[in-house]
Structure 1
Amino acid sequence: MSPAIPATSTLTPLDRYWLCEAIRLREARGERLEDRAAIRLARAGGGDLQQRILQRALSLAERDGQLIALQHYRHGAGLAMLLLALLALLTGAGLAFAALGDGVRPVNVFWALGSLLGVNLIMLLISGLSLLLGNDNGLLTRLWRWLSDLLARDARAAQLAPALLLLLQRQRLSRWAIGLVSNGLWLLTLLGALALLLLLMSTHRYGFVWETTLLGSNSFVGLIQALGALPALAGFSQPDAQMIRASGDLALNDPLARQVWASWLLGVFIVFGVLPRLLLSLLCLWGWRHGLKSLALDLSLPAYQLLRSELLPDSERLGIVSAAPELPAILPGGHTLEQSSGALLVAIELDGKRAWPPALPAGIADAGNLDSREQRQHLLDQLSRFPPARLLIACDPRRSPDRGSLALIAELAQSAAATRVWLLPAEPGEALDADRLSDWHQALGQLQLPYADSASLTWLESGHD
């Protein structure tokens, strides 16, 4: 059972541009996709060139399975982010344990701060230097991409990762995305450490000391009070000089001193660790959302310039509206098949010696014999606006069922509520090739289209045999 195709209404603007970039990369390899039906739908939908390119890409992605692959990739990316979030929380718990220890020995306040903030501040400095140098070196983001590719489990999703990367770089969103992932995961790490710090300090009794061999106590008094100045403004406790000097000599057993030192440690950790990551995460989130609002295609790319003449004909660009003549028996009942009406007979590449069309009952329109690309495109454009309820396609079974004819039959069938193929009988004195006729039967069976070797005008007129 094939997987259900996700509804296009659930796609975000980023998804649509992402799919468009993936289609462009496929065609950049020299693989021009069969897109006649997609171009026809894009032109029928109207809009400017960008909207038509997006609609064409969406139609091709839905046909070729990349829409389903996008869904798989998004699920894999979400699962990868969940795993990294759990890893971040566990890492934060490890930092808290390393900072406070088992409670048997006193906690060295500077070793504790180094355990809690050291790696975070180093990585924050590296990220800042990378941005200044123009090098978006996001290790966590690369790990996320690798996990997303691994968990997607869809070979068609392999083209989506480079497409997303190129799209974000072109739209200058890659830095915001990298910053949001990196700062967000570090924020989770620090929040996990903060939660465990509060739990351990609430259930264990810790003594706080500082130790030195070379420096005097006055140096530590100044440093500790400088670090605690900002947290003190937020309401966290600040140890006085006498308490700081006493903590350098022995672990204090005074409960008040323990509370003051614990509050000081939490305040410094929150102000210099949690708060910067929170502010950076919010800044990156704002930049990301602001950038998404300005998403646009680079219409100067050669791939999109080649599509301009097909998706936006000169007559439309100049504002000339010259409607093609309507088929006489097709009433404009709307664009959906449920509202289709009328009956239509059309032939494909018949020999000029054959008398055509046959005598038709009243109410059946004749679309003629399609023998050129212009005739085919004209009829497809008409059917996109006025789909018939019944369509009978006449074919000469003396010709081989080539790929182009079968593709045209499939496109015509998509524009009608019900379709049959009429395999015309041989001319008097001639005989049909049995093998070639079998090829027609097999090809039409693959298209799941009913066919008849005798006239089906009765069905075309009334809807039944």
Structure 2
Amino acid sequence: MSLSANEKTALFETLRRNDGAHFKLDQDQIIKQYTQLLYAANSIQWGLIALFLLLGLMAAPLAFDNSINQKLNIFWLLGVLLGAHFVSLGLWVLSFFAGQHRHSYLRTTMTAGLKRGAKWMQIPNIIVEAFIQIRFANTCGKWFLSRLMHSMWGAYLIGGLVSALFFLLTHQVHFIWETTLLTEQSFATLTQFFSIVPAALGLTVPTLQDISQSRLDQAAQPEAMRRMWAVWVLGCVLIYGVFIRLALAGLSHLYWLTTTRKRIKTVISDINRQTIHHTTIIDPDTLTKENDEPSNTPLKRVTHLPLNETYYLFEWTKPIPLALAATRYSDTINSAHDQQQYLRSSEPSNMIIDSTVSPDRGSLRFLKQANTTCQTYYMIGSPFQKDWQTALLKEGVLANNILELVE
């Protein structure tokens, strides 16, 4: 499995940001370990998909009656195959629109699993962090998890559809329905509702007479009616299950590819921007050498954030901190557009800074402007923590308002 030139560049830049010492490792060894981690992640995905395919193959036969009468409760089979699918789909829709907190928790869980697997494979944690920052940062992780979930449920439904089809090809089944609490009209209404899309696609759907004749206490069904019910049940599973999941899995995959490519390009553009800063002085530093000396005062360390306050992530390249899960996390500020949007808002807020990235003049200009509304600054990471602390003190931020957030 080969890496693109852009991803290799993003990998080395991310390693350099996270820990310059590890960046000096042999590049071939870094690429090899990164590729092993990528292969392991893909293998885990295919393993989960294969597991759900097996579960689907096992689930459908549970709905069939293996007695001499060979009777099949129509909606019992649909419930076995589509019931859990609809529940899972509903939860996905809710989580998708529930905001960033739920997805940050899922990404944290996924990150913990990757780190454990990498430890077993003896892959350095610094490479795992780079892998997560490149392929799962921001919205990349959301679309990755969506693709995985839809693929697994799609495999489950395909397995159930195949096993049901095989059973119907090798057995003569009588399709019946029975109920204790519902009426015949309720069953007819539900059947007609599920028949809307199959009828639009040209499939034969059951009539009211077919539904009435399929009562448990009715006589044996003619062959044409059995065939009609078999096609209808399989069609419902295919339309309301397999097609929906495969379409969502494909859409999630496209969005994941797009967001991942954008993420890699963002890292590379950061390199180019830093190169410009290093070669051309846009606004000369007028501070004295005495003011340039880093602060030796250690930051107060905290592990929890106050609730009911607004937080922004600044210069962020990592997964969203778990400490934000219970707070009012607002957004990430990584571009000039994000900075302008923040400055237009007058709401008091707090800033969480990725201090594994060195401050540049553009960042300091923004922080100087943001100081009127920002209450507290939290640092995460040690390589450039003193630089950020010194820069904020120069801009007049009180020392008590600069803290270190420990994950």
Q: Under a length normalisation based on structure 2, what TM-score does the superposition of the two structures give?
A: 0.59
Once the two structures are TM-superposed, the CA of residue 13 in structure 1 deviates from its matched residue by 3.3
1:76 and 1:257 mapped to 2: Cα distance?
49
Q: Shift of residue 215 of structure 1?
A: 2.8
Partner of residue 160 from structure 1, selected from 115, 118, 127: 127
- TM-superposition CA deviations, 1:272-297 (whole Å, max 9, x none): 11121122112112212322342333
In angstroms, what is the RMSD of aligned CA positions? 3.6
**Is residue 2:275 matched to residue 1:275?**
no
> Structure 2 vs 1, CA of residues 79 and 282 (structure 1 numbering), >3 Å: closer, same or farther?
closer
Decide which of 117, 125, 141 is 2:82's aligned counterpart. Answer: 117
TM-score by length of 1: 0.52
Q: CA deviation at 1:219?
A: 2.1
Find the counterpart in structure 1 of residue 361 from structure 2. none
Shift of residue 153, structure 1, vs aligned partner: 4.2
Distance in 2 between the 1:151 and 1:123 partners? 29
Match for 1:242 among 200, 205, 209?
209
Among residues 8, 17, 21, which one is paired with 1:24 in the alignment?
17
**C-alpha spacing 1:281/1:12, structure 2 compared with 1 (3 Å):** farther
AA of the residue aligned to 2:232: W
Change (3 A) 1:23 1:313: closer
Structure having greater relative contact order (Cα 8 Å, sep ≥ 6): 2
Residue from 169, 173, 176 that aligns with 1:206:
173
- Which SS does the other structure have where 1:208 is aligned? strand
State the match for 2:21 in structure 1.
Answer: 33
Report matched runs for 1:308-319 at 5 Å.
Answer: 308=274, 313-314=278-279
1:81 matches 2:48: no
* SS of equivalent to 2:66: coil
Instruction: Tell me how far apart the structure 2 counterparts of residues 186 and 276 of structure 1 sit (CA, whole Å).
Output: 10
Q: 1:252 to 1:128 in 2, by over 3 A?
A: same
Q: CA deviation at 1:78?
A: 2.8
Equivalent of residue 127 in structure 1, options 86, 92, 100: 92
Bigger mean CA deviation after superposition, 127-136 or 158-167: 158-167
1:463 — aligned with what? Answer: none
Percent identity (aligned)? 25
Match of 1:297 in 2: 266
1:226 aligns with 2:190: no
- Partner residue of 1:266? 234
Q: Which residue of 2 aligns with 1:378?
A: none
How big is each residue's C-alpha offset from its partner over 1:152-181, in whole Å with a ceiling of 9 and x where there is no partner? 843234333333333445452221111111
Q: Any idea what SS the aligned residue of 2:21 has?
A: coil
* Amino acid across the alignment from 2:262: S
Aligned partners of 2:107 and 2:141 also within 8 Å? no
User: What does 1:283-432 correspond to in 2, within 5 Å?
Assistant: 283-295=251-263, 296-297=265-266, 308=274, 313-314=278-279
**In structure 2, what residue type is equivalent to 1:76?**
A
Please report how far the alpha carbon of residue 151 of structure 1 lies from its aligned counterpart in structure 2 after TM superposition.
7.3
Residue 294 of structure 1 aligns to a residue in which SS? helix
1:146 maps to which of 113, 116, 120? 113
Match of 1:253 in 2: 221
**Displacement of 1:184:** 1.4
Q: Give the CA deviation at 1:93.
A: 0.4
User: What is the distance in 1 between the residues matched to 2:59 and 2:245?
Assistant: 16
Give, in whole Å, the separation in 2 of the partners of 1:141 and 1:108: 42
* Count of residues paired in the alignment: 278
Verify the 8 A CA contact 1:62 1:68 in the aligned structure 2.
no
Aligned to 2:149, what secondary structure does the other structure show? helix
> Which amino acid is the alignment partner of residue 314 of structure 1?
T
Work out which of the residue numbers 216, 227, 240 in structure 1 matches 2:183: 216
Q: Deviations over 1:412-441 (max 9, x none)?
A: xxxxxxxxxxxxxxxxxxxxxxxxxxxxxx
Q: Quick check: 1:184 aligned with 2:151? A: yes
Question: Partners of 1:183 and 1:238 in 2: how far apart?
Answer: 28
In 2, are the aligned partners of 1:127 and 1:137 still within 8 Å (CA)? no
AA of the residue aligned to 1:286: L
What is the CA–CA distance in structure 2 between the aligned matches of 1:144 and 1:315, rounded to whole Å? 39
CA 1:129 to 1:269, structure 2 compared with 1: closer, same or farther past 3 Å?
A: same
Secondary structure of 2:103 counterpart: coil
CA separation in 2, counterparts of 1:189 and 1:141?
26
Contact (CA 8 Å) 2:173, 2:226: kept in 1 or not? yes
Bigger Cα Rg: 1
Q: Against the structure 1 CA distance between its residues 76 and 316, is the aligned structure 2 distance closer, same or farther, given a 3 Å change threshold?
A: same
5+ residue gaps, structure 1:
1-5, 35-56, 319-465
Q: Is the 8 A contact 1:208 1:252 kept in 2?
A: no
**Match for 2:21: what amino acid?**
L
Judged with a 3 Å threshold, the aligned counterparts in structure 2 of structure 1 residues 205 and 216 are, in CA distance, closer, same or farther, namely: same
Separation (CA, whole Å) in 2 of partners of 1:141 and 1:312:
34
C-alpha distance in 2, partners of 1:13/1:166?
Answer: 14
